[in-house]
Amino acid sequence: MFRPWFCSLILRLTVIQLRLETQFSTGALKWHGNLSEQVCAAGHEAGTVRVKDHPARRNAMTLNEFIEDAFAKEHEFLMDAVQDLTPEELAWRPGHEANPMGWILWHMLRVEDMWFQFFIQRQPEIWESEGWNEKFGLPTRDNGFGHTQEQVDSFPALDLTELIRYGDSIRAASLAYLKGLGPDDFDVVPREARPEMSVGAIFRQVIGEVYQHQGHLAYLKGLARTGGMSR
């Protein structure tokens, strides 16, 4: 048999629960916990509040901002890896069939230039429009894709400062293009012959590739400076 105090407690808890449910259903009560617990603070729709409508999410990062931030972090990592490389280190490679650091840096810059300027916007690449091909004495349409071992072996030594300047110009153009994109623009397919390469897929491709090559450069730099060049 239940004691009177226990029955009284159950009754009070039931009343409190009913009051809370009433306040929650009207949006009058607001949680102060984490975002997933604050559903009642955002208003409600058919009795169910959407977390995405919560005021805390109104300043959520957009896709454009995420991409810009990813590029900024990649550039930070890249500069840490290459800005103090010597000409000897740029030309060094750990094996005969490996790519030199200078070639890798040139290739990753050319790839970003090609995708955003030529492939998407159908306009001359920065490489050509600013005369970098003439400054470096290299072909206009070459970007390293499909290079043979002989082509890599004969690749010229490029000035690091000039390469970085070329990269800065490319990135400025890429970000300018990004700023003009709306949410639906990422679904656009620039070339019918490549239906799998939408604008969004190209951003994913470029971000993945520049991070990959930046990692290559950082690793090779560490390898070169821990005795690799003396072997």
**Structure confidence by residue, pLDDT tens digits, 74-126:** 999 999 999 999 999 999 999 999 999 999 999 999 999 999 999 999 999 99
pLDDT band at 50; cut points 50, 70, 90: low
Closest-CA residue to 107 (of 64, 152, 70, 65): 152
pTM of the model: 0.75
Domains of the chain: 4-57 (no CATH), 63-230 (1.20.120.450)
**Structure confidence by residue, pLDDT tens digits, 182-227:** 999 999 999 999 999 999 999 999 999 999 999 999 999 999 999 8
Residue 67, both tokens:
């991409």
Q: How high does pLDDT run on average in the chain?
A: 83
Closest-CA residue to 199 (of 189, 209, 191): 189
Is the four-CA dihedral 24, 27, 33, 36 of positive or negative sign?
Answer: positive
Region 169-174: mean pLDDT is 98
Q: Supply the pLDDT for residue 54.
A: 53
